[in-house]
Amino acid sequence: MKPLHSLCGAGLGLRREHLQSMASEVPSTVQFLEVAPENWIKAPKQRRQLLAQILEHTPLVCHGLSLSLGGPAPLDMDLLKAIKRFLQEHQVVRYTEHLSYCSDQGHLYDLMPIPFTEAAARYVADRIKQTQDVLGEPIAVENVSYYCAPGQQMPEIEFINTVLELADCELLLDINNIFVNSINHGYDADAFLRQLPSERISYGHIAGHYVEQPDLIIDSHGAPVRDDVWQLLGKAYEYHGVFPTLLERDFNIPPLHELVAELDSIRRIQQSVMNQQKEYACG
């Protein structure tokens, strides 16, 4: 893997709709890219060649979809080894996964909440350590959106911090997920954000959501980022320093120039906070 300090500024999730365009020229605003390795490990040769062409000058991070770190079944070692080969082949800067699970006796096709308990924290931390041992590299886990909390015995923030400490891993800080959960579960997003460990933040995610009701919003990744989430991103930079941040858009994919315009918003917020702090620098 490339050193983490090769990441800087604003990144974008690479989608098939923009593959040909990106292969011709990656917009200068896009300073790094992200893919789900499961979507590429067995991709057609021509598509993989386009990816390699894009990555000649653009750093890559990988965000896994199906390792199921919190699941009851043993880790899929065949998948994990295939991911390791992909990471090495493309000099991936960092591999990340969701702090959730998506399988039992089969694939559930959704991200399910891990119970917020001491036993669950120890269990998932052990699986993260096992993953890191196989990969030979640290990973980052993402704080996820959730709509129920079965068997909860501790606050979400305590659960996340316990897992990070026990596993000695990094955090993929998803700003929209904090905002979504704060509305759906009635907590203070600002207070939650302040309690996260700055030194463990690998990079960030930001995305749009759908407002179903005033007290129920859905983490859809299918719309532009809303103003409240942009404001929370600025707070994250103030509390933790400016970190690389990636825009996610998984549905209702707009033309590339519209996503580039959103990336400009990330960079403006980063620059504003950097002007105040004078601490952040790209490696």
The rounded distance, in Å, linking the Cα atoms of 180 and 124 is 23
DSSP H or E segment with residue 75: none
Residue 177 half-sphere exposure toward CB, CA atoms < 13 A: 20
Residue 103, pLDDT score: 42
Q: pTM of the prediction? A: 0.92
The rounded distance, in Å, linking the Cα atoms of 213 and 259 is 26
Q: How far is CA 145 from each of CA 10, 78, 192, rounded to the nearest angstrom?
A: 22, 28, 14
Q: Kindly state the tokens that stand for 213.
A: 């009701």
Share of the chain above pLDDT 70, in %: 92
DSSP H or E segment with residue 196: none
CATH code of the domain occupying 4-277: 3.20.20.150
Q: Kindly state the tokens that stand for 229.
A: 């989430």
Taking only the tens of pLDDT, the chain with its 283 residues reads 666 667 999 999 999 999 999 999 999 999 999 999 999 999 999 999 999 999 999 999 999 988 989 888 899 999 999 999 999 999 999 999 999 866 444 444 456 678 899 999 999 999 999 999 999 999 999 999 888 777 889 999 999 999 999 999 999 999 999 999 999 999 999 999 999 999 999 999 999 987 777 777 888 878 999 999 999 999 999 999 999 999 999 889 999 999 999 999 999 999 999 998 875 555 4
CB atoms under 10 Å from CB of 20, counted, come to 9
Q: Convert the pLDDT of each residue in 74-96 to its tens digit.
A: 999 999 999 999 999 999 999 99
CB atoms under 10 Å from CB of 195, counted, come to 12
CB atoms under 10 Å from CB of 124, counted, come to 24
Residue boundaries of the structural domains of the chain: 4-277
